[in-house]
Amino acid sequence: MADIISQAQTVGFDFLIVMSGLGLFLFGINTVGEQLKNIAGNRMKSLIDRYTTNPIKGIFVGIIVTALMQSSSATTALVISLVRSGLMSLGQAIGIFMGSNIGTTVTAILIGFNISRIAPYAIVIGAFMELFAKRQKTLNYARLLIAFGALFFGLSLMGDGLKVLADMPVFTQFATTLSTNKLYSLLLGIFMTMLIQSSSATIGILQTLYGQGILTLNASIPILFGANIGTTITAVLSSIGGTKESKKTAVAHISFNLFGTLLFMLSLPYFTKLVQIGSAYLGLNKLMEIAFAHFIFNVTTTLLLVPFIKQIESFVNLIIKGEDQRELSVETVFEKSIIHESPVMALGVALSGTLEMAENCKGIFKETRCYINTGSRECAKAAQKHEDLVNELNRVLSGYLVDISGHTLNEDNTVYLNFLIYSIKDIERIGDHLLNIVTHFDSIYEQNETISDEGVLELEALMNIIEMLLDELYLVIESPSHYHIDRLYKMEDDINRLEKQARKAFIERLKERVPMGPLVMALYVDILSDFERVGDYSFNVASRLKETILN
């Protein structure tokens, strides 16, 4: 140890400069991811909302999300959380994992451009932008510039501090060992990535070491492969205590990365030669040479395995047998680990829950109409089940949204969060008013009373509009647009008009002493009022959306 310190002092190695550079680099890479998430916001959320069983689309989603988050580990943890909550299947997750491995090459490619000379300018410009920023969006861009500057300035500092290691006999001996023993290099990449929890950071450090001539390409490429295995530790940690599906997802990720590493380690001399020839042909610098190797490795592995996604699923099912025996509870679906991994993605999950509430309100209405028309108790019971689920969703979603509010969101996402918080209350009240109607008809049917033919026609006219209104409400929340909002406004006007007409006609029937039971006489106006309130609360959701999101 004393010998190493003596050699370091002799060649002028400055540990503080290296660690300062490493700290700035890690700060930069993490902050770039955070700011890109803030800037991308709803676009990244919509990507996850629209993931599909098509593996090609899943790969592209994985590439984009990982490029935005600047961390395949973060993407992995998020995907495991979505699988654990039942919002993503194993097949979908495998496609996204494949894409995330390619997406993580974006950072290496950026580093390969070696733009450290402009890093101080980026920091200065970003600092002035932050100083005078009046809007959240400008602030996000300012912090992104500062983070980019810190990332490249940190790499530059690290490179300046590390280049003297090439003159240290003890380190050159270590580098020679890595060049001749590929297993050591592989293990170094694995443990570095497990420690830092970021393959992008490991590869960034590797680019610096190779760029300064401290490591050879023979030593660097196995370290790169090791980083690809080390990043799977996130999948293992995220699946602990989860469902069988989440454990299967972790195994799928590990299997995919292990296969790629094994394949390329077996053909390492040929791959190294390919990288050297390709880099020379393209005129790449040393930093970009590592990025090139990283890109070819991940793209080739993905292209080889895409046709075998079903077989990978079957293999994983052999390792972890059986399915989850329990039904996913509401609490499981809204798992809070997703909030920690990405509050923006959690907003997407909350949106899914809000749409589920709206869908169940449509179910309450359908069964309420069935009960009004047939008097069947089965319809009344079904309406109650839908209402119970709406109440449960409202309870869990309210807490979930409050938890999201405790995390950093950009201005647009904060507005959207508030929209969801108030909207779920309105949707819950829609369910309450529809079930009130069931309760009113319970009383009417118990006394064997009936509503007049005129009253039945009035209710049918109202229910025809309300059926369309609830469909439109779902679309307003799912795909916000002025078109859907204007349609809902028109329907709400029609409900108000029909309710007033029905109320006036009912009063006329009372004056004319048209025969009706005492409960019908007492409750008919309340039934009309409940239908009218369904329109009011739907209007509240649409108008809030128009004023805050589409303004």
CA distances from 170 to 5, 166, 173, 251 (A): 10, 9, 5, 39
| DSSP classification of residue 328 | P
Boundary-marking domain end, from 291, 319, 347 = 319
Q: At what angle do helices 244-266 and 72-84 cross, to 10 degrees?
A: 150
Q: Are residues 66 and 147 in the same domain?
A: yes
Q: What is the pLDDT of residues 459-487, one digit of tens each?
A: 999 999 999 999 999 999 988 999 999 99
Report pLDDT for 511.
84
The pLDDT assigned to 328 comes to 45
pLDDT value at position 90? 78
Query: CA–CA distance from 527 to each of 359, 391, 455, 498, 505 (Å)?
Result: 22, 21, 11, 13, 14
Q: Confirm whether 216 is domain-assigned.
A: yes
Going by C-alpha positions, the residue among 287, 291, 71 that lies closest to residue 198 is 71
Tell me: do 281 and 412 sit in the same domain: no
The answer on pLDDT for 9 being more than 50 is no
Q: Name the band, by pLDDT with cuts 50, 70 and 90, for residue 330.
A: low
Q: Find where tokens 């940190």 sit.
A: 154
| 367 in a structural domain | yes
pLDDT tens track for 133-167: 777 778 878 888 888 788 878 877 776 766 666 55
Most confident of 36-50, 255-269, 424-438: 424-438
* Domain assignment of residue 40, yes or no: yes
pLDDT band at 4 (very low <50, low <70, confident <90, very high): very low
Higher pLDDT residue, 415 or 156?
415
**Could you tell me if residue 171 is inside a domain?**
yes
Residue 277 belongs to some domain of the structure: yes
What is the 8-class DSSP label of residue 165? G
**What's the CA gap between 458 and 452, in Å, rounded?**
10
Range with lowest mean pLDDT among 34-43, 118-127, 297-306, 338-347: 34-43
* CA 427-430-432 angle, 5° bins: 115
Residue 48 CA to residue 345 CA, distance in Å, equals: 7
- Verify that 245 and 265 share a domain, yes or no: yes
Q: Alpha-carbon distance 353 to 397, whole Å?
A: 7
The residue out of 319, 351, 370 marking a domain boundary is 319
Q: What's residue 300's pLDDT?
A: 93
- 367 or 306, which is more confident: 367
Q: What span, in angstroms and rounded, lies between the C-alpha atoms of 437 and 527?
A: 6
Task: Please check the confidence at residue 301 and state whether its pLDDT lies above 80.
Answer: yes
Whether residue 345 sits in one domain with residue 301: no
Its domain, for residue 371, covers 331-548
Of residues 194 and 531, which shows the higher confidence score? 531
How many domains would you assign to the chain? 2
The pLDDT-based confidence of 391 (bands split at 50, 70, 90) is very high
Mean pLDDT of the chain: 83
Helices (H), 268-342: 268-282, 286-305, 309-319, 330-333, 337-341
To which H or E segment does residue 242 belong? none
Look up residue 71 and give its DSSP letter. Answer: -
The two three-digit tokens of residue 73, written as one number: 């580990």
Of 270, 298, 319, which residue constitutes the final position of a domain?
A: 319
Does residue 337 share a domain with residue 300?
Answer: no
For residue range 204-263, list pLDDT tens digits in order: 888 888 888 888 888 889 999 998 888 887 777 767 666 677 788 888 888 888 998 999
Distance, in Å, from the CA atom of 215 to the CA atom of 137, rounded to the nearest integer, reads 41
| 291 CB-side CA count, 13 A | 22
Q: What are the structure tokens assigned to 311, written together?
A: 């077989």
> Do residues 297 and 418 both lie within one domain?
no
pLDDT of residue 147: 83
- The token duo for 287 is 């930093």
Same domain, 275 and 357: no
At 326, is the pLDDT very low, low, confident or very high (cuts 50, 70, 90)? very low
Task: Kindly tell me if the per-residue pLDDT of 8 is higher than 50.
Answer: no
pLDDT at 128: 87
CATH number of the CATH domain containing 475: 1.20.58.220
Burial class (CB in 10 A: 0-12, 13-18, 19+), 91: middle
Residues 276 and 351 in one domain: no
Q: Is the pLDDT of residue 60 over 90?
A: no
Q: What integer pLDDT is reported at residue 5 of this predicted model?
A: 44
Pick from 55, 56, 520, 87: which is nearest to 345 by CA? 87
Q: Is residue 160 part of a domain?
A: yes
Would residue 325 count as lying in a domain? no
Does 506 map to a domain? yes
Statement to judge: residues 54 and 194 lie in one domain? yes
Query: Model confidence at 432, in pLDDT bands (50, 70, 90)?
Result: very high
Q: What DSSP element (H or E) covers 9?
A: helix 2-11
Q: How far out from the chain centre does Cα 267 lie?
A: 36
Same structural domain, 262 and 343: no
pLDDT computed for residue 196 by the predictor: 75
Q: Is the pLDDT of residue 189 over 80?
A: yes
Q: Are residues 205 and 227 in the same domain?
A: yes
The separation between CA 523 and the C-alpha centre of its own chain, rounded to angstroms, equals 47
Tell me, yes or no, whether 386 and 272 share the same domain: no
513 Ramachandran zone, left/alpha/beta (phi>0; psi -120 to 50): left
Choice between 313 and 417, residue whose per-residue pLDDT is larger: 417
Closest CA to 65 of 51, 47, 52, 53: 47
Asked whether 488 and 538 are in contact (CB, 8 A), the reply is yes
